[in-house]
Structure formats: C-alpha cells, structure tokens
Amino acid sequence: RGKSCRTITFEQFKEALQELSKKRFKGKSDEEALQEIYKLIEGKGPVISGVTKTVASPTVSRLTDTSKFTGSHKERFDSSGKGKGRAGREDLVDNSGYVSGYKHAGTYDHKVQGNK
C-alpha cells in the first residue's frame, strides 16, 4: 500500500505505534516506550478536529427564514417551511385530459350512473 491509501490494518497500526513510541519516549527501552504509548491511547477513540462550527447570526437566520420568501421562491416551500422538492421548482403538467380550471374532474362516471 502506498502513502495515499487512507486505511491501514491493525498490524500496520501496531507498527506505527512502535515507531511513535521510539520517537516520543527516547530515554526508555522499546518495550517501556510502547507501554507508555498504550497508556496514552487506552480507552480513547478517534478525535474529530477542525470541524466547522455553524454560526447562528441574525443575518443568516433572516435570509434562511422561508416564511419571508416572496414570488416564485415562496412556491418552493410548504406552510411549515419544508421544501417541496421538484414540485416547487418546476411547473408540473396535469395530463388528466381535463381542461385547466375545470372543477368537476373525475365526476363523469358519477353523473352518468346518476342519470339511470
């Protein structure tokens, strides 16, 4: 494996600890230095460092408040502020066969059966 590989095996991890222990604890024997390294990492997990924290500023909250949106941007969100997805971005065509604005769509069978 080359240096660009992002994963190592447990054996490679132990080898790395041996190398680090020699550099960190120079005055001690290899075994004592390795035991000191084990004490340092015992019971600890990986640490996430350098993660960007979010800033809650009034400007950002004003710009992201969907209740203040107007025009076509307002159509992209429902009343709770949740995005509608594709329905909010595109005009979805009604291919039902009825004329746009017809209020009694789907009532044909009811009307025909009611006349009998």
Number of CB atoms found within 10 A of residue 33's CB: 20
Check pLDDT > 80 for residue 30. Answer: yes
Check pLDDT > 60 for residue 115. Answer: no
Check pLDDT > 70 for residue 65. Answer: yes
The residue ranges of every structural domain in the chain are 10-41, 58-88
Question: CA–CA distance from 114 to each of 105, 107, 109 (Å)?
Answer: 16, 11, 8
The whole-number pLDDT of residue 97 equals 72
User: How far apart, in whole angstroms, are the C-alpha atoms of residue 23 and residue 25?
Assistant: 6
114 — pLDDT class (breaks 50, 70, 90)? low
Return the percentage of the chain with pLDDT > 70, whole number.
93
